[in-house]
Amino acid sequence: MRDVAVVGTGMTKFGELWGQSIRDIFVEAAQQAIADSGVDYIDSLYVGSMSPGLFVNQEHLGAVMADYLGVNPIPATRVESACASGGVAFRQAFLEVASGASDIVLAGGVEKMTDGADVTDVLAAAADQEYEVYHGITFPGLYAMIAKAHMHQYGTTREQLAAVAVKNHRNGVKNPNAQFRSEVSLAQVMSSTMVADPLRLLDCSPVSDGAAAVIVASLDVARKLNKNFVKVVASAQASDTIALHGRESITTFKAVVEASKKAYKIANLRPADINLVEVHDCFTIAEIVVSEDLGFFEKGKGGEAAKQGLTAIEGGRIPINTSGGLKAKGHPVGATGIAQIIELYEQLTSQAGPRQVKNVRRGMAQNMGGSGASCVIHILEAQ
């Protein structure tokens, strides 16, 4: 396997992009990534997208995007793993370059969620239709059950859940592409509209449009480009039962645990060697559980860590979601995994501006689908 690097990035603003189509926003991000990298060709293209057929009635997305990007006749493939679609698209690009099959690959992600589809129904397609959705459960309901169980088992509090939202909105203010660039207070989070007890509106990531893209290349190509690049030192993926009732515990994400074990082993690293991490905070409880499952905090201590500021940019032990996370940056589901890689790239090349973490060498991205049935993890390293 060859060494692989990220050599360029591109990203639209996340939010309600009424004036642009799904192909418009993907091409915008992809063109930015190509220009940023300095490459004059790409060998292939991967597009992460969860449900374009349900959101905007457009399938065959790989071919659509290759056409409108003007890169035919290269191979172009859509990748789907629910909300982990972008992260898995990046993994496929990484594997293609690492194997030697291609030298330069574009990995992108896109979702257009605000064009009129019933978003709750579309997202529910990532849960177990026969055993969960048929009986009326939604994703806020599934994560509410996880939150209730975590609170019962470990004493996690409403204030600790709210602290995650407060911190991520504070980070989002510093991200020019974030959907929400305003701070929220603990009181605002805790008094926001109840969605599924104990989760309130400000515990939930928003409905978003957006696209993100990166250029993945062999290390030899990266060095010849004579520009900033970061090395991909680990890529790992794992799965779990799709329905919560099939799991030994709903206060841990087994797919996250297993994928992280693989990633740490591949990179020969430990949690203490990671300087910052982008995690899949679709709901505030998700960030808490994932921070524990990745080994950054003892099981049951993730909420306390958030409230104590251990995950903050300033003075944090392990800064989490410096981008603002899904909570403030936005969550166009197919684009999220790629946006996480972009945040790591900007941090590791000291281009993150006011949200820059000091003295960073390694970053981790954790992207998961549904209620944790799929998970993909990458570790990137500054060069």
pLDDT in tens, 360-371: 999 999 999 999
Do the Cβ atoms of 22 and 112 come closer than 8 Å? yes
Q: How confident is the model at residue 324 (pLDDT cuts 50, 70, 90)?
A: very high
Domain 4-118+207-230 and domain 119-206+233-382, same fold? Reply is yes
Give the CA distances from residue 157 to residues 122, 150, 296, in Å, rounded to whole numbers and listed in that order: 31, 9, 19
What are the residues whose beta carbons fall under 8 Å from the beta carbon of 369, sequence distance 6 or more?
A: 50, 81, 82, 83, 84, 85, 126, 375
What pLDDT digit, counting tens, does each position of 201-243 carry?
999 999 999 999 999 999 999 999 988 999 999 999 999 999 9
* Domain assignments of the chain as residue spans, ordered by start: 4-118+207-230, 119-206+233-382
Q: Which CATH superfamily is domain 119-206+233-382 in?
A: Thiolase/Chalcone synthase (3.40.47.10)
Q: How far apart are CA 234 and CA 263, in angstroms?
A: 5
Mean pLDDT on 364-381: 98
E strand or H helix at 189, and its extent? helix 186-191
Q: How far apart are CA 185 and CA 23, in angstroms?
A: 37
336's tokens: 């999220």
What are the residues whose beta carbons fall under 8 Å from the beta carbon of 138, sequence distance 6 or more?
A: 120, 123, 124, 196
Output the pLDDT for position 226. 84
Closest CA to 167 of 315, 267, 270: 315
What is the residue whose two structure tokens read 């900007």? 346
Q: How far apart are CA 88 and CA 109, in angstroms?
A: 10
- Is pTM, for the whole model, over 0.75? yes
What pLDDT digit, counting tens, does each position of 19-53 carry?
999 999 999 999 999 999 999 999 999 999 999 99
What pLDDT digit, counting tens, does each position of 76-131 carry?
999 999 999 999 999 999 999 999 999 999 999 999 999 999 999 999 999 999 99
Q: How far apart are CA 72 and CA 141, in angstroms?
A: 43
Mean per-residue pLDDT over the chain, rounded? 98
Catalytic residues: 83, 331
Q: How far apart are CA 116 and CA 100, in angstroms?
A: 42
What are the residues whose beta carbons fall under 8 Å from the beta carbon of 285, sequence distance 6 or more?
A: 143, 146, 147, 150, 156, 161, 199, 203
Do the Cβ atoms of 304 and 160 come closer than 8 Å? yes
Mean pLDDT on 309-330: 97
CATH architecture, domain defined by 4-118+207-230: 3-Layer(aba) Sandwich (3.40)
